Structure 1
Amino acid sequence: MIRVDAGVYIGAASDLNDAQDLINAGITHILTVDSEQPAVPDESFRMKYIHALDESKTDLLSHFDDCISFICDASEESKAVLVHCHVGQSRSAAVVTAYLMKCHKMNFVDACAKLQQLKPDVKMNEGFVDQLALPQYKEYRLLKLTEKYPELRNVPKEMFAADPSLSTCSEVAYRCKMCRRTLFNGSSILSHPVGHGPTAFGHKKLSNQQRGYETQCTSYFTEPVQWMEQAFLGVMNGQLLCPKCSSKLGSFNWCGEQCSCGRWVTPAFQMHKNRVDESNTLV
């Protein structure tokens, strides 16, 4: 068991054998990322289990937000968390790397280097490396979902990013301008190549002023967040309303929507920039 950050440890399943050692280290939360759920070492521990095989085809990305929220919950309470898999080299390393990237704003290379320095035997499988290193993976996963669930009657829970209002993590957050409710984190924003501006809107007549003018993106396109789930029930498109004050934030369409820059984004979860505020801390 090795300390990676204040209140964050990485280890193996064998570290659960001695509850007193965990207690002595101040650990109160245990996050297991393994193929089998472990026995609870002591009823006083708060446990979270993620079923995952150490295989390149295993999708850990879908669980990163949930895992990071659990880690941040421990931090929030000034407690400590142990993140472990079977031997502490691949699955737990991927989760801890994701935590360092998201909460410390580190890039993949630097996060890996820090973890490797602290725990030289860390060796993530290639699939996990790809999921951490390629930000486009989220977009690809969402696009595949629209093909697999054309009627979207049952969107998998793991497709939703954790609701940032329910936990605290030190990254940029975006809030409703009307009621200040936290809506999504900066890591949930999905980038897209800038389109061709007004010329991309062939159905509209352009004024002389618009010709040659490159339109900027006036919306954020995000991954779906847990609070959006109710809006998706039985429909392919609709409005996105603030879950607290019901003010209109934007719209969603699983078949895609066109950004103001002219680029078509599929699927689209669009938040108008003039309806949200950026904040460096969550409250």
Structure 2
Amino acid sequence: MAMNQIPGHNIYVGGILALKNKAALERANITHIVSVIRLRSDEYLSSYQHHKIDVDDIDDENLLCHMPAAVNFIQSGLDSGGSVLVHCAMGKSRSATICIAYLMHQQRNDRSITPSVALETIREGRPFCEPNPGFMDQLDLYYDMECPDDLESQPVYQRWLYRREVEESVACGRAPEMGSVRFEDEDEQLPSQQQPEKTPEREVEIKCRKCRRGIASSKYIISHEEEKRQNVRVNSNAECAHIFLHPMKWMRSSLYPSASDANPNAQFTGDAPLSGRLACPNPTCGANIGKFAWQGMQCSCKSWVVPAIGLAKARVDIKERVLGNPSPAALGIRLPPGMQPAGPSNSGAGRGNL
């Protein structure tokens, strides 16, 4: 069929031919149309409220950036008492992606409505709907961000854009433009949605081994434990020789050697290296403390990190401290059955009480 209704909603999914079936559009009370396709002509759309998204059905197309506006448009159509048609070329990938985004946004407080669950709902009406893998990844990211109304304020989204820029630049054999790199510590504070749900039991502080200059803390560390679990070829028991970090502003002089120290926000126009060494940010030290590779590098545990900005553990000091009133598990202690951890009234220190 040219278009099919999503069960329980006045939303229809269809292909380009649906626009030519005026009788079907009238029967469905279509008042708003979302075109997720590069249209050559809008001659069939003059009598409808129309929202156009010019994208192709390819994995690396950024459809994520269009989701909030499309969701708002669909909702406005439903609120006006009409029905909404979301179409692409075949009514299979692009249109289904936008409809999934809407269903998740509508029920974003219900974390059980994942992209896969929303897709199954759409397939009840149009069984062959199947977003391409790249769009499914973007829907996963949209879900992880809890389907926000504003993407630009989301550090996760900004980080995703930066990674895309890195991938595109590396494919062309060059480092990403400095203006596209998100230096994590330039924000005065992380937005509330990025704050951890609960206070971590441990705080990691990293210092240059030579001069003791502070370099990074826990919130800038990238874990690749997930890659270890998913990749059977990875040696999950191997000790990682590097600590991988998000970009930080002290790295500018290493990542972009010709950038202006006087005006770090100025547009960088030189040729930045694809890979190189990280130097201690202390100008009187400048010790080699690690390396970077925009194209990625393999950790000693055999997992790949892309892009890779790594501190060599042999060249830095790593200090962990326990925060608050940690559980015995946080201290690596296993209590005998029935034994309770020492309370505040016990003045003995940690392990000595056991």
Normalised by the length of structure 1, the TM-score is 0.52
Taking structure 1 as reference, are residues 82 and 63 closer, same or farther at Cα in structure 2, changes over 3 Å only? same
Map of 1:132 onto structure 2: 139
Map of 1:114 onto structure 2: 121
1:187-214: CA deviations, max 9, x gaps? x945657554796799xxxxxxxxxxxx
1:141 to 2:157 alignment: yes
Map of 2:16 onto structure 1: 13
Q: Which runs of 5 or more structure 1 residues have no equivalent in the other structure? A: 153-187, 203-235, 237-260, 263-283
Q: Which runs of 5 or more structure 2 residues have no equivalent in the other structure? A: 146-153, 166-176, 181-191, 207-264, 266-322, 325-354
Taking structure 1 as reference, are residues 80 and 191 closer, same or farther at Cα in structure 2, changes over 3 Å only? farther
Map of 1:240 onto structure 2: none
Structure 1 runs (4+) deviating above 4 angstroms are: 135-140, 144-152, 188-195, 197-202
Mapped contact 1:37–1:51 kept (Cα < 8 A) = no
Mapped contact 2:14–2:88 kept (Cα < 8 A) = yes
Map of 2:61 onto structure 1: 58
Taking structure 1 as reference, are residues 150 and 144 closer, same or farther at Cα in structure 2, changes over 3 Å only? farther
Deviation at 1:19, TM superposition (A): 2.5
Mapped contact 1:34–1:51 kept (Cα < 8 A) = yes
Which secondary structure state, in structure 1, belongs to the residue aligned with residue 130 of structure 2? coil
Task: Flag the structure with larger Rg.
Answer: 2
Map of 1:222 onto structure 2: none
2:44 to 36, 41, 45: 41
Mapped contact 2:14–2:95 kept (Cα < 8 A) = yes
Map of 1:228 onto structure 2: none
Taking structure 1 as reference, are residues 26 and 194 closer, same or farther at Cα in structure 2, changes over 3 Å only? same
- More displaced stretch, 17-26 vs 143-152: 143-152
Map of 1:70 onto structure 2: 73
Q: Specify the code of the residue in structure 2 equivalent to 1:121.
A: F
Mapped contact 1:18–1:41 kept (Cα < 8 A) = no
1:2 to 2:4 alignment: yes
1:4-49: CA deviations, max 9, x gaps? 1432111111000122321221001110001335423152211111
Q: Specify the code of the residue in structure 1 equivalent to 2:114.
A: N
Map of 1:89 onto structure 2: 92
Distance in 2 separating the partners of 1:121 and 1:145: 30
Mapped contact 1:37–1:49 kept (Cα < 8 A) = no
Distance in 2 separating the partners of 1:196 and 1:42: 54
Q: Specify the code of the residue in structure 2 equivalent to 1:123.
A: E
Mapped contact 2:5–2:126 kept (Cα < 8 A) = no
Q: Specify the code of the residue in structure 2 equivalent to 1:94.
A: T
Deviation at 1:140, TM superposition (A): 4.3
Aligned residues: 173
Mapped contact 2:20–2:44 kept (Cα < 8 A) = yes
Give matches, 1:261-280, under 5 Å. Answer: none
Mapped contact 1:34–1:85 kept (Cα < 8 A) = yes
- Overall identity of the aligned pairs, in %: 26
